[in-house]
Structure 1
Amino acid sequence: MARDDADDESIAAVSRDLYRQGMTDGLPVIPPTEARVAEMLRGTDTPDDAVIGRLGNDDNPITVAGLASNAVMAGCLPTHMPVLEAGVRALADPDSNSIQFSVSTGGWAYQWVVNGPVRDDVGIAGGTGAYGPNYRANRAIARALGIAYRNTAKIHPGEKDMGVMGNPFKFSLLLGEHEEASPWEPFHVTAGHDEADSTISLAGPNSFVQWEPAAREAAAVLRGMLANTPPAMVGGEQQGGDFDQTITYVLCPESIDLLADAGLSKRDVKRYVADNSAIPVDEFQKGVLWEGALEGYHGRVENAQVPQIRGPEYVRVVAGGGRTGQYDAVIGPSIGGPVTEGVDYPDDWPALVEEYGAAE
């Protein structure tokens, strides 16, 4: 995909050309010249021709050089490459179910959570406005991983991507967990990594809802989590499928403070939400029920209720957002993952970080 430096056309011309070939997300891209790709490859010690993983239902290989070319197009920096390589490994992991949420009619997104020191090294935000249009690393890394998957698996709307509505979060839903704002163990530690590790985690959700708790108290935070989780966000074994559905709650610092001050652990919060998630049988979304969930209910018990979330193991809790107010969010249901991959650094990582800086 890299272009000859002597043929470094304008951004508009290259964007138009690549768009016509179905290789962009519709927005302008940076021309992936040989010089730019070579500079991007400074962010990794992995050989250029090494296959990081295989993506899509045809198991198409993506090499380090191919990833670097897509990263240039998306506006990434060389310091983003270690996170991008780990992200591709997550996409290639069969447990991520990335094939289904890349092409399914539901219009699913790629949800990324980054943990560990790499957040500060490259400026991945987790505080105020982290999900908004503010931070280069958040936006560019998520975009690059989405474009790389699209171009490797050759996914186009109406061909492989059958999303009825599509999803505005497809290539933009990336957060660095606000670990410093929470007394609870970080997301990657819950997934089995050491706190000092840097990781990226992937899930495949459908929807995003945020709200302001009704009062500044722990009980209001918990009620808000239940009241604002739509019936379509079902957590449990997926009927007829191989992947469980999970739900992620992103709680802001003030809400976490209230819950922690009330003596609640992350596990307590997950258990409370699951135990109190009962909804009427008729509100369940078609096609996403765990096997036998409604057996014996229809036509027998008036206004029967069943748990919307089968158990705490289907609930994820992440610290995110700033202290500028109190808003929480729920993201889901995910039809894949979460899977978590460790970030590996090149030997000259400190010098590269110093050269580029986290804020560039």
Structure 2
Amino acid sequence: MTGMQSGFLDLPSDPEAMFEALYAMGLTDGFPIIPPTDDRVERFIAASGRPGSQVIAPIPPHNAPGTVEKIAINAVMAGCRADYMPVVIAVVEAMADPAFNFLGITTTTNPVGPLILINGPIRHTLDINCGRGALGPGRRANATIGRAVRLLMVNIGGAIPGEVDKATLGMPGKYSMCLGEMEEESPWEPFHVDRGFAAGDSTVTVVGPQGNMNIFTPWKKADSILAALASAMAALADNNTMRGQGNPILFLNPGHAGLLAAQGYSRLRLQQELWHRAGIPAAALPTEVSAIEEGSRVMVDGHSMPTARPEDILIAVAGGPEAYHNTYCATFGDWAVTRPIRLP
């Protein structure tokens, strides 16, 4: 293998025996993997357009160097295509931003993990699911890009579940949580444009959700829709409300997004309305002092607010077209980070 810096493992050629060996060494997420052979890894490095020795970021908690080569190894194992490499690299760059709190999200007892939202033309190039079932199974890009990130967190950063990753119960999204925005069906400017990028840019945004809540919303009038959405956000038990900060994210289906826009709601007006409606009355709050975040709540007009500012609530459009179900993801209480995808 030309110029490779990673060590080698002498493994059985039989796929089942090889999987058993890697699983015993703690190098998988519990699912079978694709063998990261010399030729596959070299092909993935070439597809990144970067030298294999380039360090993209240190990966916590061990802060081991996340080189292009090591990222490629984990992307191969996850079942990625080689042309997914620029996306995986951009995700690592985004998670390395201190605002994301990579170390905290990796090691906390909270069941959080990275959610990856992809915008721009690359969604079509890589066949990323933005519509029906975008957070579910069935699409290779969604499944394996997120899985590659989880594998490199374990295999480079050392975030071994139960040993270093201290999530009390965990959640399925810790395997993979990746989707694209359905920009073409959004009545508002694309999510990444709202965050300062050009419409023609391809970007990744990472947030640290503690799960996802389905919001059954079988109504057509804005007031009814808002009541349902705000009820999901008014949660005493999530970090955004507890800490009064961070970027929770709401995924609206195209049907409800269109209904709200037709009734006069811009993205900003929607953020403002949800912020006010999702406040929890002080009388409903425990009188006991919090063991972890004393005095951190944001109180407005006698209500505990879900975030410090309305614009901290992120809103993207994704999913099937019917105006029935929406999804809310409360987060660890830290910040979303958006980075451009650099193509070779």
TM-score computed with the length of structure 1 as normaliser? 0.86
Q: 1:89 aligned to 85, 88, 93, which one?
A: 93
- Written as runs of structure 1 = structure 2, the 5 A alignment for 1:278-357 is 278-281=279-282, 282-283=284-285, 286=290, 287=292, 291=296, 293=298, 305-324=303-322, 326-346=324-344
Q: Distance in 2 between matches of 1:2 and 1:73?
A: 15
In the alignment, which residue of structure 1 is the partner of 2:71? 67
Call closer, same or farther: CA 1:61–1:344 in 2, change over 3 Å.
Answer: same
Q: 1:103 aligned to 104, 107, 114, which one?
A: 107
Task: Give the unaligned 5+ runs of structure 1.
Answer: 298-303, 347-360
In the alignment, which residue of structure 2 is the partner of 1:277? 278
Letter in 1 for 2:243: Q
In the alignment, which residue of structure 2 is the partner of 1:218? 222
* SS of residue matched to 1:263: coil
Q: Find out whether 1:238 has 2:243 as its counterpart.
A: yes
In the alignment, which residue of structure 2 is the partner of 1:300? none
In the alignment, which residue of structure 2 is the partner of 1:268? 269
Q: Distance in 2 between matches of 1:259 and 1:336?
A: 28
- Written as runs of structure 1 = structure 2, the 5 A alignment for 1:239-254 is 244-254=245-255
How far the C-alpha of 1:269 sits from its partner, in A, is: 0.3
Residues 165-174 or 78-87, more deviating: 165-174
CA-based RMSD of the aligned residues comes to 2.4
* SS of residue matched to 2:134: coil
Call closer, same or farther: CA 1:11–1:222 in 2, change over 3 Å.
Answer: same
Task: Give the unaligned 5+ runs of structure 2.
Answer: 1-5
Q: Distance in 2 between matches of 1:148 and 1:248?
A: 25
Call closer, same or farther: CA 1:170–1:290 in 2, change over 3 Å.
Answer: farther
In the alignment, which residue of structure 1 is the partner of 2:41? 37
How far the C-alpha of 1:39 sits from its partner, in A, is: 2.1
* SS of residue matched to 1:25: coil
Residues 227-236 or 279-288, more deviating: 279-288
User: For residues 212-251 of structure 1, what are the alpha-carbon distances to aligned partners after superposition, in whole Å with 9 as ceiling and x for unaligned?
Assistant: 2131222222111111223223536937xxxx32211000
TM-score computed with the length of structure 2 as normaliser? 0.90
User: For residues 235-285 of structure 1, what are the alpha-carbon distances to aligned partners after superposition, in whole Å with 9 as ceiling and x for unaligned?
Assistant: 36937xxxx322110000000010100011000000001122221334479
User: For residues 324-358 of structure 1, what are the alpha-carbon distances to aligned partners after superposition, in whole Å with 9 as ceiling and x for unaligned?
Assistant: 45210100123332001110111xxxxxxxxxxxx
Conserved 8 A contact 1:236-1:310: no
Q: Distance in 1 between matches of 2:7 and 2:39?
A: 9
Conserved 8 A contact 1:250-1:328: yes
Q: Distance in 2 between matches of 1:122 and 1:2?
A: 31
* SS of residue matched to 1:323: coil
Call closer, same or farther: CA 1:3–1:57 in 2, change over 3 Å.
Answer: closer
- Written as runs of structure 1 = structure 2, the 5 A alignment for 1:12-27 is 12-27=16-31
How far the C-alpha of 1:193 sits from its partner, in A, is: 1.1
Q: Distance in 1 between matches of 2:163 and 2:107?
A: 9
